[in-house]
């Protein structure tokens, strides 16, 4: 009996450490069609032009851009206005 419990514990540990592949286009906004909730269960890092960015709301690796909030400016719905910055984008799990 203890052998089956140990194997399930090992599987549970393996499942929590397995992270899904990062998509080419990802958004932090849950209303976006590019939002993947499973990816956000893990800590994600974004590099733009070899500099780490912590304020990225959305990115696209193939097109080479990230969207970041533009200061304290808000739209009429109260969401931050996003500014698109182009460059070499790298996404990774921390």
**23 near 39, Cβ under 8 Å?**
yes
Tens digits of residue pLDDT in 58-93: 999 999 999 999 999 999 999 999 999 999 999 999
Give me the mean pLDDT over the 49-54 stretch.
95
- pTM to 2 decimal places: 0.76
Tell the burial category of 14 from Cβ atoms under 10 Å away from its Cβ (0-12, 13-18, 19+): exposed
User: Of 68, 41, 43, nearest to 55 (Cα)?
Assistant: 68
Biggest distance spanned by C-alpha atoms of the chain: 60
- Give the number of other CB atoms < 10 A from CB of residue 60: 19
Going by C-alpha positions, the residue among 63, 68, 69, 71 that lies closest to residue 87 is 63
């Amino acid at each position: 009996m203890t052998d089956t419990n140990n194997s399930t514990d090992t599987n549970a540990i393996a499942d929590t450490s397995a992270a899904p592949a990062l998509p080419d286009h990802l958004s932090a906004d849950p209303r976006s069609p590019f939002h993947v909730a499973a990816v956000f269960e893990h800590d994600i890092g974004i590099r733009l032009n070899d500099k780490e960015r912590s304020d990225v709301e959305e990115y696209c690796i193939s097109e080479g851009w990230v969207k970041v909030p533009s200061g304290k400016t808000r739209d009429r719905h109260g969401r931050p206005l996003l500014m698109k910055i182009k460059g070499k984008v790298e996404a990774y799990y921390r």
